[in-house]
Structure 1
Amino acid sequence: MAVARTLILQPDGRLTQQHRTALTSLPPLSVYVHVPWCVRKCPYCDFNSHAASDIPERAYLDALRADLEQALPSVWGRQVISVFIGGGTPSLLSAAGLDELLATLRSHLRLLPDAEITMEANPGTAEAGRFRDYAASGVTRLSLGIQSFDDAQLQKLGRIHDARQARAAIGMAQEAVSRVNLDLMFALPGQTLDACLADVREALSFGTEHLSLYHLTMEPNTVFAKYPPQDLPDDDTSAAMQDAVESELAAAGLQRYEVSAYARPGARCKHNLNYWEFGDYLGLGPGAHGKISFHDRIVREARARQPESWMDRAGRGDGSHIAETRSLAASDLPFEFMLNALRLREGVAASLFAERTGLSLAAVAHQLEAAVSRGLLVTDPTRLQASALGWRFLNDLQELFLSE
């Protein structure tokens, strides 16, 4: 694998080198589908979500088909290993709507027979019959946004469900599909270590195989950023929560395999693993981002963010629904790769760097030496893996690979 160089004559007469990534094989391909509507926008949420009492399902599905058809030349013939339907609240889709969405994907793409198909769901919109219909359409994994089992905390977070609904939704999901993920948040307003562990222990009581655990943060352009909640745990308390949760989950057989993800053996999320291993993903729907590799370049793209604008533009068939397209420069690739791969607790095989970027590890030899000398990276030459210190100061480790 190598980086091809082409000499370019600039207007001022200078010759410069244009670097092109040369990949001998393409990485695995996933598909992300964004459903932007929700019942109510949560005050901490910075996702591309929009409150709606009645979602325009027909217009959305038509636009999604048009979006996919225009994307086909970039992924033609490639196998799809996973699909993730996120939001917003995808479980606002009718059973017939979800069935049509998956049928559209299957008719246009080469989904593997055992492709993991995940759908996010809000416990406040959970219905046993609808979950069974989703499973019948091909959904193999449901990810439930529980956040907490404490009713007072759920109210502070602006969630539309209570703890009783959360428990009921878990039961419905487990009866419908073979894989269920629970999302929890910690470092909540006024939350104690005991309260944090109580949430985790209740999640474990359902035999949970996969848990995503997120620190509450004040993201820009959210209600919480403008009106921060009171009594947030300090950094030391938050760190103690993280450590205690990891120990609790490890004792129950769930290993922390990524910054925010814990799983029992065999239950890791294949879709997200493909992100972290710098695989490819086609993003469909308003605001969806994608990364597509070709043999001579790696391209990132983003769809128009506003749902109405995306639906209108996708329907034109002229590509105007793509708000941004850019080919990654060779100098961008080390940071892009490490930003993802080093989030994995076990890291990745060192050979994956060349396989997924087209660059030799010699291109980042200086950064690797600096990371090892500072104790942030393990010394095993066959792996790219954060040390215990590097894991704790992951941002510092990843920033070493930023282009100068």
Structure 2
Amino acid sequence: MIPLKPIAMPKPGANPRRDGGTGNAGNDNGQHVIQAFTAPGHIRLTSLPPLALYVHFPWCVRKCPYCDFNSHEWQGDTFPEEAYLDALRADLEQSLPLVWGRQVHTVFIGGGTPSLMSAAGLDRLLSDVRALLPLDADAEITLEANPGTFEAARFAQFRASGVNRLSVGIQSFNERHLQALGRIHDGAQARHAVEIAAHTFDNFNLDLMFALPQQTLAECQADIETALSFSPPHLSLYHLTLEPNTLFAKFPPPLPDDDQSADMQDWLHARTAEAGYARYEVSAYAQAHRQSRHNLNYWRFGDYLGIGAGAHTKLSLPNRILRQARYKHPASFIEQARAGTPVQEEHEVSRADLPFEFMLNALRLVEGFPVHRFIERTGMSLTSIEPALKEAEQRGLISRSHETIAPTPLGQAFLNDLQALFLKDAR
């Protein structure tokens, strides 16, 4: 079902600047790090959550009309790969004092279209990561890839360099819908890409959208059935939304109405379950033991260091939680990283905002969260959100015990309304 009162839903790690943010946060990195650890904070954490690394690649062949990610069409025959890899290493090096001694459990290389990188470039990137960070031996390393950029030999080299999970941006197998979405690939290229992914990787995800312009239920079903025919370990099935500052927001296409969209969503929930996929998050479905470990860390309010143009970071320190944003434009990021100042904005998450930020993520999970996780990762007592919890329980949006809190099926259907209760509570 479509939420009745939608609120802004940031992507994992997307954090608008708030009062108290500071520009050029890295101008004096040593002093900045000392202050981050020693200045009085608003909370006290008894342990730090798991740490992930996100690497942003900002270029695409063409900007899609629905996309609100930090992506830029490259102009000319090539993009400045070497200069960008230099900047990524510089960004990572200046970030190290904030994460000394912490193991990295997952790496996600997203974009943009990071599969545009050369095999040598990707190998260098992962070599730099291993040289600078204590990466788990069994770390999940995911690369986003779009059909139209698939070459079997190059993807085999990606696999040899250490990528062990691929996320393929299919969106649809239908020619008409691919054209409406502005994708550079056609249905045949989409199928070929999945075949290469399945042959090269034993762990891969397929991204698809539904409620597309003028899409019927039968067309939605055909897309899902095609995807299921490849037996992907993981599916991400997104309802198309018109995000601000996109071409679709400015010129809205004709979309299925709420009832038609709800029919599609109800059908795909049932069909994926029948095919052996468990829905574990709003838009995520997985075979047994194939959930995205990187995304689970986001939703469980874990930490992540984001490097690259426009990347966002959330890091827990013993007495505070910091959020950072890098310079968004690739040229600006490269220039600032060379100067040792890739961080454009930084702020400490206020005590008042922490409960909402935690719940914004944790309530996306079908399993909900154990009560102790809220206490451990916010440094706050559950009594800080008791009014909102009571209202949510009275409205049938959550179920709770002394051990766990989870959204009910009704809460999952009206997730934005459920999350808004905790925003209201914070305010």
1:205-244 aligned within 5 A: 205-230=229-254, 232-244=255-267
**Alignment match, 2:216:** 192
- Look up the match of 1:304: 327
What does residue range 120-131 of structure 1 map to in structure 2 within 5 Å? Answer: 120-131=144-155
Task: State, as a whole percentage, how many aligned pairs show the same letter.
Answer: 60
Structure-2 separation of matches of 1:112 and 1:203 = 31
Q: What letter is aligned with 1:378?
A: S
Contact 2:52–2:303 (CA<8 Å) still a contact in 1? yes
- Residue from 333, 338, 345 that aligns with 1:315: 338
Aligned residue identity for 2:265:
Q
Deviation of 1:345 (Å): 0.6
Q: Deviations over 1:152-191 (max 9, x none)?
A: 1111111111111111111111121221100001001111
Q: 1:305 is matched by which residue type in structure 2? A: K
Output one character per residue of 1:106-127: Cα deviation in whole Å (capped at 9) or x when no partner: 0000100000000000111001
> Who is 1:268 aligned against?
291
2:85 and 2:125 in contact (8 A); partners too: yes
Q: What corresponds to 2:412 in structure 1?
A: 391
| Alpha-carbon separation, structure 2, partners of 1:67 and 1:381 | 43
Deviations 1:315-352 (A, max 9, x none): 011x2x21111111111110000000000011111110
Q: 2:139 matched to 1:118? A: no
Q: Of the candidates 159, 162, 168, which is equivalent to residue 135 of structure 1?
A: 159
Give the Cα separation in 2 of the matches to 1:109 and 1:30.
Answer: 11
Q: State the aligned residue count.
A: 384
Aligned to 1:154: 178
What are the within-5 Å matches in structure 2 for residues 368-379 of structure 1? 368-379=389-400
1:139 is paired with a residue of what secondary structure? coil
Q: How far did residue 379 of structure 1 move?
A: 2.9
1:206, 1:229 → 2: CA distance? Answer: 30
Q: Could you tell me whether the CA contact under 8 Å between 2:205 and 2:233 is conserved in 1?
A: yes
1:246 aligns with 2:272: no
2:314 maps to 291
- Asked if the contact 2:41/2:320 (under 8 Å) is kept, the reply is no
Partners of 2:110 and 2:401 in 1: CA distance: 37
Deviation at 1:135, TM superposition (A): 0.4
What is the distance in 1 between the residues matched to 2:144 and 2:354? 30
- Which of residues 69, 75, 78 in structure 1 aligns to 2:99? 75
Query: In structure 1, what is the Cα distance between the partners aligned to 2:189 and 2:49?
Result: 40
User: Does the alignment pair 1:29 with 2:46?
Assistant: no
Within 2, Cα distance between the matches of 1:46 and 1:234? 22
- Once the two structures are superposed, what CA deviation does each residue of 1:259-290 show, in whole Å capped at 9, x if it has no partner? 01100111000000000000000000000001
- Give the superposition deviation at 1:399: 1.4
Deviation (angstroms), 1:381:
2.6
Contact 1:19 1:330 in 2 (8 A): no
In structure 1, distance between residues paired with 2:133 and 2:304: 13
Contact 2:198 2:232 in 1 (8 A): no
User: How many Å separate the matches in 2 of 1:379 and 1:143?
Assistant: 34
C-alpha distance in 1, partners of 2:278/2:156?
29
Distance (whole Å) between structure 2 residues aligned to residue 171 and residue 55 of structure 1: 28
Name stretches of at least 5 consecutive residues in structure 2 with no aligned partner: 1-39
User: Post-superposition shift, 1:380?
Assistant: 2.2
Q: Point out where structure 1 has 5 or more consecutive residues left out of the alignment.
A: 1-17
Counterparts of 1:38 and 1:73, CA distance in 2: 32
Q: Which runs of 4+ in 1 moved over 6 A?
A: none
What SS does the aligned partner of 1:160 have? Answer: coil
How far does the alpha carbon of each residue in 1:238-271 deviate from its partner, in whole angstroms, 9 at most, with x for none? 0110110010000000111100110011100000
SS in 1 for 2:407: coil
Q: Which has the higher contact order (CA 8 A, sep 6+)?
A: 2
The Cα shift of 1:19 comes to 5.9
Q: 1:19 to 1:58 in 2, by over 3 A?
A: closer
Q: What CA RMSD, in Å, does the superposition of the two structures yield over aligned residues?
A: 1.0
Work out whether residues 204 and 232 of structure 2, in 8 Å CA contact, stay in contact via their aligned partners in 1: yes
Matched, 1:39 2:61: yes
- Partners in 1 of 2:146 and 2:175 — Cα distance? 15
> Using the alignment, how far apart are the partners of 1:155 and 1:210 within structure 2?
25
Q: In 2, are the aligned partners of 1:19 and 1:329 still within 8 Å (CA)?
A: no
Matched, 1:367 2:388: yes
